[in-house]
């Protein structure tokens, strides 16, 4: 290795390999210094990595008539006329070329969330590329890395364009597949709002009433106000339209959850079953954790393994009040089970439910090896009601990093090869799923205590939580680092990571 890779991250990556899932992450760390594909001007020279192939796709965004909710045909904005857009499946190391045409009445771009693409392919308007105008085309090209559950979505007017349907899964298979599943289902959660098409599109804030009635899990009074007019979807359809998932007794089933919602997090449960989390944001979780419910912030992904050992017809749904009723529910049906109308009842004791991430965060964990980062930043996230209160105004939708809203936030200036530590602290009342473009990071500490590291690209900070994350600056360019809640983004919760 030419540059010294931070020990902790190296160990993490080694762990990944020992566990036998894939050498993907290791490759990322190792290839960093020499990787020529990260420079925009070398675009024409992109070639698949050894063993990889050239994969070409065509995507067109256009307005379609679509039924998110039974009996309510409406306008959706869709990739290739479907919501979610087509799932792209490639293998790690493939050269992916996507010829994109925008047939929408307004500009758009595509962001490849969780993929370490060159900065010019990252889809951030005016930073990576000019927005693709109506009638325009753009060719995205990148090497598929790292392996895992990724996704792609519009990165222009996200609030509106995500709620209208511009999102889809992107699965990067590892070079070597060591775990075989009998079924592999991708389950993408979305939002649809009838307001989305209106020019004066803005969400009423739910206010205190909603905040107080939040989670049945009782673990977060503070969250994000829920707009009762927003409908939730599972693979593009609100319950009961959502496609059921078929399993057979004895099967080993993989579910890949993607939260493509513009605003809301969900608490996902599969009645009658536990879920073993094997991957967070597509990256192996070591060791895997067995849970009963998963809190999933916008932008986040969880791969879980379920053993089909409890025949019946089971609800897969969000446990937050009102979310299943507003669409976030489908059914897992065992082959041979009675008809769907007879849902099986879960009789397990809900008091002992283990909810991710709480069960994990409350565990005492051995301190990892600590080494000294090259650069360190502290980011305090604030805004919303706090801001309104402090300013004595009604500026409820200003969201800040260290007191500043984008574009006035201070960029994180790094240089190639730096190991960068970022200490995040959320002093606002709402959740912030913080997403870093172009890099994966290791989550090292929670509330000042070391946790078993996990590699992610998005981490959700709830009220008064803090996380320390670390990444290697191995992908030169200018990158968004922002809250994935589209409303908070609009309100300024964005900063840049800039290479010197």
Q: Which residues have C-beta within 8 Å of that of residue 237, sequence separation ≥ 6?
A: 67, 68, 243, 327
424 touches Cu ion (CB under 5 A): no
Residues 300 and 443: their CA atoms lie apart, in Å, by 14
Secondary structure of residue 156 in the 3-state scheme: coil
Task: Give me the 457-486 binding string for ligand C2O, x by CB under 6 A, dash otherwise.
Answer: -----------------------x-x-x--
Q: Which of 93, 299, 476, 492 binds ligand C2O (CB under 6 A)?
A: 299
Examine residue 386 and say whether the peptide bond preceding it is cis (omega within 30 degrees of 0).
no
Between 314 and 399, name the residue whose CB sits nearer to Cu ion. Answer: 399
Residues 489 and 160: their CA atoms lie apart, in Å, by 12
Between 13 and 480, name the residue whose CB sits nearer to ligand C2O. Answer: 480
Between 373 and 433, name the residue whose CB sits nearer to ligand C2O. Answer: 433
109 touches Cu ion (CB under 5 A): no
Residues 277 and 275: their CA atoms lie apart, in Å, by 6
Strand ranges inside 309-384, DSSP E? 313-318, 329-334, 355-356, 375-383
CB of residue 157 to ligand C2O, shortest distance in Å: 13
Q: Which of 111, 237, 432, 488 binds ligand C2O (CB under 6 A)?
A: 111
320 touches ligand C2O (CB under 6 A): no
Q: Give yes or no for a contact between 263 and 298, defined as CB atoms under 8 angstroms apart.
A: yes
**Helix 7-19 vs helix 24-31: crossing angle, to nearest 10:** 150
Secondary structure of residue 33 in the 3-state scheme: helix
Tell me, rounded to whole angstroms, the distance of Cα 426 from its chain centroid.
19
CB of residue 430 to Cu ion, shortest distance in Å: 6
Strand ranges inside 343-374, DSSP E? 355-356
Between 96 and 331, name the residue whose CB sits nearer to ligand C2O. Answer: 96
Interface residues for ligand C2O in 436-455 (CB under 6 A)? 437
Q: Which residues have C-beta within 8 Å of that of residue 168, sequence separation ≥ 6?
A: 79, 84, 85, 86, 87, 88, 151, 152, 153, 188
**Which DSSP letter does residue 403 get?**
T
Task: Give me the 119-158 binding string for ligand C2O, x by CB under 6 A, dash otherwise.
Answer: ----------------------------------x-x---
CB of residue 138 to ligand C2O, shortest distance in Å: 17
The helix (H) or strand (E) run that includes residue 110 is strand 110-113
Count of residues that interact with Cu ion, criterion CB under 5 A = 5
435 touches ligand C2O (CB under 6 A): yes
Between 432 and 435, name the residue whose CB sits nearer to Cu ion. Answer: 432
CB of residue 258 to ligand C2O, shortest distance in Å: 10
Q: Is the dihedral of CA 35, 459, 443, 172 positive or negative?
A: negative
30 touches ligand C2O (CB under 6 A): no
Interface residues for Cu ion in 475-494 (CB under 5 A)? 483, 485, 488, 493
269 touches ligand C2O (CB under 6 A): no
CB of residue 458 to ligand C2O, shortest distance in Å: 8
CB of residue 298 to ligand C2O, shortest distance in Å: 8
102 touches Cu ion (CB under 5 A): no
Q: Give yes or no for a contact between 263 and 210, defined as CB atoms under 8 angstroms apart.
A: no
Q: Give yes or no for a contact between 224 and 485, defined as CB atoms under 8 angstroms apart.
A: yes
Residues 117 and 311: their CA atoms lie apart, in Å, by 43
Count of residues that interact with ligand C2O, criterion CB under 6 A = 10
Q: Give yes or no for a contact between 442 and 452, defined as CB atoms under 8 angstroms apart.
A: no
279 touches ligand C2O (CB under 6 A): no
CB of residue 155 to ligand C2O, shortest distance in Å: 6
Secondary structure of residue 208 in the 3-state scheme: helix
488 touches ligand C2O (CB under 6 A): no
Identify what 432 binds: Cu ion, ligand C2O, none; CB under 5 to 8 Å per kind. Answer: Cu ion
Residues 114 and 167: their CA atoms lie apart, in Å, by 13
Identify what 299 binds: ligand C2O, Cu ion, none; CB under 5 to 8 Å per kind. Answer: ligand C2O
Site of interaction with ligand C2O (CB under 6 A):
111, 113, 153, 155, 299, 435, 437, 480, 482, 484
């Amino acid at each position: 290795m030419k540059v010294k890779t931070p020990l902790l991250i190296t160990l993490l990556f080694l762990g990944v390999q020992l566990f036998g899932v894939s050498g993907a992450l290791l490759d990322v760390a190792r290839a960093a210094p020499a990787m020529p594909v990260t420079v925009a001007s070398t675009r024409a020279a992109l070639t698949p990595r050894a063993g990889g192939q050239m994969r070409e796709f065509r995507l067109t965004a256009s307005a379609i008539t679509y039924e998110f909710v039974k009996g309510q045909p409406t306008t959706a904005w869709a990739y290739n006329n479907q919501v979610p857009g087509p799932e792209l499946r490639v293998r790690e190391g493939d050269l992916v070329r996507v010829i994109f045409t925008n047939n929408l009445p307004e500009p758009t771009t595509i962001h490849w969330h969780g993929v370490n693409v060159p900065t010019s392919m990252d889809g951030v308007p005016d930073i990576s590329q000019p927005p693709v105008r109506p009638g325009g085309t753009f060719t995205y090209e990148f090497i598929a890395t790292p392996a895992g559950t990724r996704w792609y979505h519009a990165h222009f007017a996200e609030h509106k364009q995500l709620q209208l349907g511009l999102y889809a899964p992107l699965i990067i298979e590892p070079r070597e597949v060591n775990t075989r599943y009998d079924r592999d289902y991708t389950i993408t959660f979305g939002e649809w709002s009838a307001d989305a098409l209106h020019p004066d599109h803005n969400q009423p804030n739910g206010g205190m009433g909603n905040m107080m009635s939040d989670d049945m899990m009782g673990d977060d009074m503070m969250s994000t106000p829920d707009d009762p007019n927003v409908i939730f979807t599972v693979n593009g359809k609100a319950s009961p339209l959502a496609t059921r998932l078929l399993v057979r007794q004895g099967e080993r089933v993989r579910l890949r959850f993607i939260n493509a919602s513009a605003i809301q997090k969900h608490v996902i449960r599969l009645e009658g079953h536990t879920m073993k989390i094997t991957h967070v944001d597509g990256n192996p979780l070591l060791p895997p954790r067995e849970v009963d419910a998963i809190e999933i912030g916008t932008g986040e992904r969880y791969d879980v393994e379920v053993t089909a050992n409890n025949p019946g017809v089971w609800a897969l749904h969000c446990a937050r009040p009102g979310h299943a009723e507003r669409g976030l529910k489908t059914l897992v049906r065992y082959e041979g089970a009675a008809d769907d109308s007879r849902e099986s009842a879960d009789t397990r004791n809900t008091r002992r439910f283990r909810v991710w991430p709480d069960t994990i965060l409350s565990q005492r964990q051995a301190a990892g090896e600590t080494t000294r980062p090259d650069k360190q930043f502290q980011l305090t996230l604030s805004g919303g009601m706090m801001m309104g209160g402090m300013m004595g105004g009604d500026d409820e939708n200003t969201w800040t990093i260290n007191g500043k809203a984008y574009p006035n936030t201070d960029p994180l200036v790094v240089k190639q090869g730096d190991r960068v530590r970022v200490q995040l602290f959320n002093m606002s009342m709402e959740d912030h799923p913080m997403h870093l473009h172009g890099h994966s990071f290791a989550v090292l500490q929670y509330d000042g205590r070391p946790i078993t590291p996990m590699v992610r690209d998005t981490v959700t900070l709830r009220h008064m939580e803090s996380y320390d994350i670390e990444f290697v600056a191995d992908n030169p360019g200018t990158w968004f680092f922002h809250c994935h809640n589209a409303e908070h983004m609009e309100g300024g919760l964005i900063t840049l990571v800039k290479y010197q």
